[in-house]
Amino acid sequence: MPEFDAVVVGAGPAGSAAALVLARAGRSVALVERGPFPGAKNMYGGVVYGRILDALVPQWWEEVPFERWVTRRATMVLTGTQSLTIDFRTQSWGTPPYNGCTTFRSEFDHWLAGKAVDAGATLITSTTATSLLRDGRGHIAGVRTDRDDGDLNGRVVIACDGVNSFLAKEAGLYHHPGAEHVTLGAKEVLALPREEIERRFGLTGDEGADFEIIGCTGDVPGGGFVYTNRDTVAVGVVLHLPALAASRKRPEQFIADLKAHPSIAPLLSGGELKEYSAHLIPEGGYDAMPELVTDGMLVAGDAAGLCLAAGIWLEGVNFAIGSGAAAGRAAAAALRRGDTSAGGLAQYRRDLERSFVLKDHKKLRRAPGFVLNPRTQQAYPKMACDLVEQLFTVRNPEPKAGGLRAAWRELRRSDVRVRDAARDAWTALRTYG
């Protein structure tokens, strides 16, 4: 029966970061991955933000398997026939040390896991952790796997096994297991010639674009996205799971509607479908997170609910890497002291509280409820688009309407009660201010 100082379950960004830190600390660590290679089972269509990598892999941009460096960031609100976009570009994001890049998880995860292996971690693929092992005190002491050669003993287990972590649930750490805290991300990857992508999105060289979209999912709360890769474009939606089930629509119908929108269709027309995938995403935020520490085990990444879905921001990989690295440091320190109890591992939670990982989630704890409420999803996008249309419609010989007066008129014309709008404005100010 193999013996390790630590067993990390899941070779995604969180697990690989944890294994890398532990291996560099001189600890024997098993990195267990159920797929045939790291990233084989990951659905992803977004941006990796690199600052969290600076300390783990200095000069990471010289070797990371990137598709494009994101220099254009757009936030869009849509109605059926309108769109309003805040479109930001900067050349500074297109030079070292870069802000973020689009990438494929099959390549990125393989690269980061390789760093852990180079540091001394043992990568075990095509292996599923089926349950927890416990010692005579009841402390977690490894995992049972589906391999013929049995179990993996470890003085610490780090659960990075994804949304709705089976290991965290078995350990009794999940207190918010409801589907209301989960969304479904669905994505298509469309092939287009590189020069055509650059023409349509106004890019040159290795520049990339990231569009985050709200108001594109009808009666189902959620959002959409469009990301450019080198010679493909990722387009997809994120859908609130209970509402999706009630709608009786398939996710690909929402993607088709987004692709057909008059503001999106010209960007994607003629693209050849290369891939379709779907994946559950933890979007409950700070108040829906499980406990992160118990005797002999830490929880990181999606397993810990660490995905920031805040409308303006949709980030996960940077929080996964940050929490995984913190878990590795806490586990290494606990092993050094010979105390892997919950108390001995408590440094992990304290470190996360001091870092951006939990500071951002705590600050934006109201964001999931605000972003997914029907007014933010449907009423406010329509009001914003109608207001801008009114302001820019030339009605000579009539005089131009004042902006505040036009905004008030749009509010009164909508179904939104003034007190609800005021309450939402206050929530937005406290959340994003």
Q: Which parts of 231-389 are beta strand (E)?
A: 232-240, 272-282, 293-294, 297-299, 308-309, 314-315
Same domain, 338 and 325: yes
List the structure tokens of 308.
């920031």
- Asked whether residue 39 is assigned to any structural domain, the reply reads yes
Instruction: Examine the domain organization and report whether 278 and 396 are in the same domain.
Output: no
- 282, 317, 333 - which closes a domain: 282
In a domain, residue 8? The reply is: yes
Confidence at residue 203, expressed as pLDDT on a 0 to 100 scale: 98
Instruction: Based on the fold, state whether residues 265 and 385 are members of the same structural domain.
Output: no
Ramachandran angles phi, psi of 121, nearest 5°: -70, 150
- The verdict on residue 229 lying in a domain is yes
Number of domains in the chain: 3
Q: Does residue 348 sit in the same domain as residue 388?
A: no
Q: Tell me the CATH number at 269.
A: 3.30.9.90
* Pairwise CA distance, residues 8 & 21, whole Å: 11
Using left for φ > 0, alpha for ψ between -120 and 50, and beta otherwise, residue 222 falls in left
Specify if 411 maps to a domain. Answer: yes
pLDDT of residue 178: 73
50 and 160, same domain (yes or no): yes
Q: What is the pLDDT of residue 244?
A: 95
Domain edge (last residue) among 282, 307, 328: 282
**pTM of the shown model:** 0.94
Which tokens in the block code for residue 17? 């970061």
Residue that terminates a domain, selected from 342, 365, 388: 365
Same domain (yes/no): 359, 295: yes
CA dihedral of residues 326, 212, 208, 109 (deg, nearest 10): 30
Q: Report the DSSP beta bridge partners of residue 85.
A: 76
- Give me the numbers of helices (H) and strands (E) for the chain, helices first please: 15, 19
Within a domain: residue 164?
A: yes
Position 140 scores a pLDDT of 97
Does residue 56 contact residue 62 with C-beta atoms inside 8 Å?
no
- Residue 130's domain comprises 3-65+104-176+288-365
In this structure, the answer to whether residues 303 and 355 fall within a common structural domain is yes
Taking the chain (433 residues) in runs of 10, the rounded mean pLDDT of each run is 91 97 98 92 76 96 97 96 97 96 94 98 96 95 91 97 93 83 92 98 97 94 96 96 94 97 98 92 88 98 90 86 98 98 98 96 90 91 90 80 72 82 89 81
b/e map 45-59, b = 16+ CB within 10 Å: bbbbbbebbeebbee
Residues 403 and 427 in one domain: yes
147 in any annotated domain:
yes
Is-contact 315 308, C-beta < 8 A?
yes
Both 200 and 51 in one domain: the answer is no
CATH number of the domain bearing residue 302? 3.50.50.60
Longest Cα separation, the chain: 86
Tell whether 207 and 130 lie within a shared domain. no
73 in a structural domain: no
- What pLDDT shows up at residue 43? 63
Looking at the fold, whether 193 and 236 belong to one and the same domain comes out as yes
Same domain, 378 and 346: no
Q: Are 127 and 55 in contact (CB under 8 A)?
A: no
Q: What's the pLDDT at 229?
A: 97
Q: 78 in a domain, yes or no?
A: no
